[in-house]
Amino acid sequence: MSTSLEDKELIVVTVVGADRTGIVAGITNVLAGLNVNIEDISQTVLRGFFAMILIADMSKATCSLRELREKLEVKAKELGVEVFVQHASIFRAMHRV
Which tens digits make up the pLDDT trace of 4-30?
556 799 999 999 999 999 999 999 999
**Total tally of structural domains belonging to the chain:** 1
CA quadruple 57, 68, 48, 88: dihedral sign: positive
Asked whether residue 28 is domain-assigned, the answer is yes
Asked whether residue 2 is domain-assigned, the answer is no
Asked whether residue 1 is domain-assigned, the answer is no
Range 35-52 burial, b when 16+ CB lie within 10 A, else e: ebbeeeeeeeeeeeebeb
Return the DSSP state at 35: T
Q: What is the pLDDT of residue 7?
A: 75
Rounded to 5°, angle at Cα 44 from 39 and 45: 155
Domain that holds residue 87: 9-94
Asked whether residue 4 is domain-assigned, the answer is no
Is the confidence at residue 94, as pLDDT, over 90? no
Q: What is the pLDDT of residue 60?
A: 96
Spatial distance between the Cα atoms of 9 and 86, rounded to a whole number of angstroms: 11
Which CATH number fits the domain that encloses residue 80?
3.30.70.260
Q: What is the pLDDT of residue 96?
A: 62
Q: 23-52, pLDDT tens digit by residue?
A: 999 999 999 999 999 999 999 999 999 999
